Structure formats: C-alpha cells, structure tokens
C-alpha cells in the first residue's frame, strides 16, 4: 500500500503489488517489523525537522489497517484530509461520510447511500464515487452494493474484505474464538 498524508489527515491510500514499487521507495526495516513499508516524504521538511502530524497519521493508519486485517478492528478513526484527497464538493464528502457509517459486515445500496446523503436520485454518482474513493478501508466502499445485491465490477479485494468481516461476525455469533485474520 502507498499512503499519502498531510498534517490534516490521510489523503490517499492506493493498493499496489510489490513489483510495482521501486526499491528506493521501500524501507525494509519497517517491512520486517510491521509488514508495512513506510518511507516518509514530507513537503514540510524545510519548516519542521520533525515528521509531525502527517507521520502520526501514517503510523496510526498502519496500526489500524493491521488490526483490521487481523480481525481486531471494526472501524477506522484516522482523520481524512478531504482537500488533499481531491474531494471538493459537499455531496461527495457526505457520501463518503455515509459510507463510513455502514456497520462492519453489513451492506447498503448505492441508492440508499444517495438517499442518506441527501440526494435520492444520485445512485449512479454514488457508484462513481465508490470507484474514485481516495482512501479505501477507511471509507469502506466494499460495503456498498447494487440494489439487486450484486457487487458490480468491484475489484476482488473488496469482495474479500466483505467476506472477512462476515466471517468475523459469524464466528462471534457462534461463540468461536476470534478474531479471524484476513485471508
């Protein structure tokens, strides 16, 4: 994963394969310790020698993603920097906020999210926003589905995330020891 953060919050999270990264982008010590490759690039270095708030947001997100994938976390609470993420209109922000309120392991339709965001006839726009989501995981677009219950053209990892959540809920209801890690 590549993550971009500002002092105001997380701006972008992109999933990439290891072969898509250049070797100089990786800090292998972090990868060995945490499973994450974190290399800080602060545009504010001239103003502040410490990585500061952006680094704190990155560290917090890395911890929360690890906990989510291990089945120990059900919701993210890292701040988002909407402006740096390119989310400039209020409807888009409201859609993403509504998606963040969909409970762990449950789903909502594009149409319902559109209604909840205050514009009932914008289901297609909600679908488009789900494809453009700047920070997946934190904005769990894998929980948004078509009205007929289908997942549409979503990437396979989104299906797997929803299955992961549902496995943890089923294990909890059955009284099985958990949490169950992502597989």
- pLDDT of amino acid 1: 85
Q: pTM of the prediction? A: 0.82
Is the per-residue pLDDT at 34 higher than 50? no
| Calpha distance 100→75 (Å, rounded) | 8
| Secondary structure string (H, E, C) spanning 16-47 | CCHHHCCHHHCCHHHHHHHCCCCCCCCCCCCC
For the 88-134+141-173 domain, the top CATH level (class) is mainly alpha
Which residues, listed in sequence order, are joined to residue 122 by a DSSP beta bridge?
none
The residue-averaged pLDDT of 47-51 equals 53
| Calpha distance 108→105 (Å, rounded) | 10
Q: Which residue has the higher pLDDT, 1 or 42?
A: 1
Domain boundaries defined on the chain = 2-69, 88-134+141-173
Per-residue pLDDT reduced to its tens digit, 118-163: 999 999 999 999 999 999 999 999 999 999 988 877 778 889 999 9
Is the per-residue pLDDT at 86 higher than 70? yes
Q: Which residues contact 174 (CB under 8 A, 6 or more apart)?
A: none
The answer to whether 144 and 110 are in contact (CB under 8 A) is yes
| Calpha distance 97→91 (Å, rounded) | 10
| 107 three-state secondary structure | coil
Percent of residues in the chain assigned helix, strand, coil, to nearest 5: 45, 10, 45
Is the per-residue pLDDT at 43 higher than 60? no
């Amino acid at each position: 994963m590549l993550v971009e953060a500002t002092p105001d919050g997380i701006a972008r999270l992109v999933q990439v394969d290891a072969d898509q990264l250049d070797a100089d982008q990786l800090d292998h010590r972090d990868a060995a310790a945490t499973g994450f490759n974190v290399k800080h690039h602060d545009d504010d270095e001239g103003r502040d020698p410490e990585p500061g708030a952006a680094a704190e947001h990155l560290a917090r997100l890395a911890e929360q993603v690890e906990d989510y994938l291990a089945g120990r976390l059900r919701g993210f609470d890292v701040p988002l920097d909407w402006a740096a993420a390119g989310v400039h209109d209020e409807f888009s922000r409201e859609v993403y906020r509504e998606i963040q309120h969909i409970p762990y392991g449950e789903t909502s339709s594009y149409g319902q999210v559109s209604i909840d965001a205050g514009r009932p006839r914008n289901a297609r726009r909600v679908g488009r926003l789900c494809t453009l989501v700047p920070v997946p995981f934190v904005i769990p677009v894998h929980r948004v589905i078509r009205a007929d219950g289908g997942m549409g053209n979503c990437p396979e990892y989104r299906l797997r995330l929803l299955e992961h959540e549902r496995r943890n809920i089923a294990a909890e209801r059955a009284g099985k020891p958990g949490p169950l890690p992502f597989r």
